[in-house]
Structure 1
Amino acid sequence: MAHGFKSSNQNFIFGPWTVKAVKTHIMKSKDIERLADEMQMASLPEMLFGDNVLRIQHKDSFGIEFNAKDALQCVNNLQDSVKVACAQEWQESRSDCEHSKEVVKRYDWTFTTDYKGTLLGDELKLKVIPTSDRIDMEKLKTREQIVFFEEVLLFEDELHDHGVSMLNVKIHIPPAVYTDPNEICQYLPLNLLQCEKLEFPENMSESQITETPQTTGPEQT
């Protein structure tokens, strides 16, 4: 983290909903090693923010949150599916070396994850279902007041100088940092398209879900 970083714990309340954003320091090396053993992973990201969380929760306890530990649970720790360009050359140059023939535990060293969040709640819970709905891009272009913005970093790793792997989550992104999807899509190959949406628990009325928004602003603790 940058010099002078201070931990923060923010709560933003709107109607029956509370957004909680917790940002704190990187986990210590010994704690990362212990967690790697618990998760049976050969390695974890160099910069792991195990206590960081972004949570959106209804007053009836259901909601969704994003945290690093659950995200890493979705990493394939049995397969190293990505090979760098120099891997084959390195292997051939050491074909006669005894140590090069030793079996090394395989794992996805890029920490690629399909984590979509952790659902909260016991009796009441959001439901994930496939959908053909798409985000209304025109609505996103509307210049409205940003009442709350936060970005929470979950983990980052420089991948031994072969690039950077980073997982973070944002809410209410300011227009200044919008990326035009019509421009960037021509440079990015489509590997997977999977659309889902969250349905509120059954038997809940619209008034229970929304209620009258309060005017309480962000709180810093």
Structure 2
Amino acid sequence: MAEKDQVAARARAVTERFQFGPWSMMTVKSHILKSEGPTRERFESQLELPQVPEMIFADNVLRVIHDDGYGIEFNALDALKCVDAHHDPLKVAVSQAWREARSSCEHINDVVKPFDWTFTTDYKGTLLEKEDKKITVSETTERIDIEKLKVREKILFYEDMLLFEDELADNGTSLLNVRMRVMPSGFFILLRFFMRVDNVMIRVNDTRLHYQAGKNYMLREFSTKDDQVKEIKASQHLFTDPNEIANHLTLRKEVFEKLQFPETPPEEGS
């Protein structure tokens, strides 16, 4: 990219910063990735996908960094690297419905190589490290206290940003967004992937991350829920609302993790 183009791109991006104790929060929100150009080529060259989502916010990022240099961030490129570039899982899961949906899906029919055209991702964030400062991830029996998070607190900092979105050739929608709020007691992040193939399937993949001020770790929980549309016992007007429909889907998988900070070793048996 020419220097003039780089300056223009930076001018269009909006960067916000917030300091919470030893943690620095930074968010960057920019424009949709253009359909052609060096930035697009560089982005696609790092992915094996034969197609990418229609709207990619390639420069959008939510980053949380400790003063010691370690942390976590959420970005579109790493999320799309988790998409299956070699198989079409939906074809197996809902064979007949998939064929019917695919018959009218023009841009999917043009692709010979099979891949997950719903762009389903199990991305849970990108861990950041600096030299020997590295977060250690381990399974845990500890859970995020959702009820405690429901207690009304002053919101010190809030962000809600889209990482990518695709209308699946007018057959539904697929999107990934990340939200964060910082309170006096700590911070909470929700990364949500929402996919709806009309008359076929709805899926919600959630990653929740919670840090309590003063702790030497964060908790991260990942869940995936989905159902074929014909099995969902909920009003159809909820099908387009990820927050509502998630409560009516079948839980398929859960992963509970402790993200231990490098100051102290991971606790045994956690």
Global fold match (TM > 0.5): yes
Q: Is the aligned partner of 1:29 residue 2:42?
A: no
User: Which fold has the larger relative contact order, with Cα–Cα distance below 8 Å and residues 6 or more apart in sequence?
Assistant: 1
The CA deviation at 1:73 is 0.8
Residues 50 and 111, structure 2, Cα contact 8 Å, conserved in 1: no
**Percent of counterpart pairs with the same letter?**
51
Query: In the TM superposition, what are the counterparts of 1:46-195 in structure 2 within 5 Å?
Result: 46-83=54-91, 87-89=98-100, 104-122=112-130, 123-172=132-181, 186-195=247-256
3-state SS of 2:89 partner: coil
Paired residue type of 1:199: Q
1:130 and 1:46 map into 2 onto residues whose CA distance is 36
The CA deviation at 1:111 is 0.7
The CA deviation at 1:103 is 8.3
2:177 and 2:50 map into 1 onto residues whose CA distance is 22
1:161 and 1:111 map into 2 onto residues whose CA distance is 15
1:184 and 1:91 map into 2 onto residues whose CA distance is 24
Q: How many residues in Structure 1 have an aligned counterpart in Structure 2?
A: 184
RMSD of aligned Cα (Å): 2.8
3-state SS of 1:107 partner: coil
Residue from 14, 24, 28 that aligns with 2:20: 14
The CA deviation at 1:195 is 1.3
**Cross-structure match for 1:200:** 261
3-state SS of 1:32 partner: helix
TM-score, normalised with respect to structure 1: 0.74
1:153 and 1:82 map into 2 onto residues whose CA distance is 24
Residues 32 and 44, structure 1, Cα contact 8 Å, conserved in 2: no
**Where do 5+ consecutive residues of structure 2 fail to align?**
1-11, 104-108, 184-243, 266-270
**Where do 5+ consecutive residues of structure 1 fail to align?**
1-5, 93-99, 175-182, 205-221
Residues 72 and 125, structure 2, Cα contact 8 Å, conserved in 1: yes
Q: Which has the higher strand share?
A: 2
Structure 1 segments (4+ residues) deviating >3 Å: 31-34, 83-92, 183-186
